[in-house]
Homo-oligomer: A and B are copies of this chain.
């Protein structure tokens, strides 16, 4: 089952700068073979269900190993059975509607 997700991981108890922890997740997600795009409030991820959720677990484990005692994550994710859809399709679909006025 293919999943399109939006991952926002927030380490708690490591001070105000969380970017080193977010940066540490990017290669974990990429090396899992997932399609990823970083944005200003999270990372879009696309891949097979198991690959996506295993990689997210590895992110949590890595951030704890970096010293964060606590993590809270907000994850949005979608599945569909009616047709194949990829991340770029979702953006293109909205942009096509905008172009139509």
Contact = CB atoms under 8 A, between A and B. Distances in A.
Copies in the complex: 4
Contacts of A6: 6, 8, 39-42
A94 B19 contact: yes
Interface of A: 1, 4-6, 8, 10, 12-13, 15-20, 22-24, 26-27, 37-42, 44, 46, 49, 53, 57, 60-61, 64, 69-82, 87-88, 90-91, 93-98
Given A10-B72, A76-B8, A40 B40 contact: no
A90 B12 contact: no
27 contacts: A1-B61, A4-B40, A5-B41, A6-B6, A6-B8, A8-B76, A12-B12, A12-B16, A12-B18, A13-B82, A16-B82, A17-B93, A19-B94, A20-B97, A38-B94, A40-B44, A40-B87, A41-B78, A49-B57, A53-B57, A64-B79, A69-B82, A70-B80, A70-B81, A70-B82, A71-B79, A75-B75
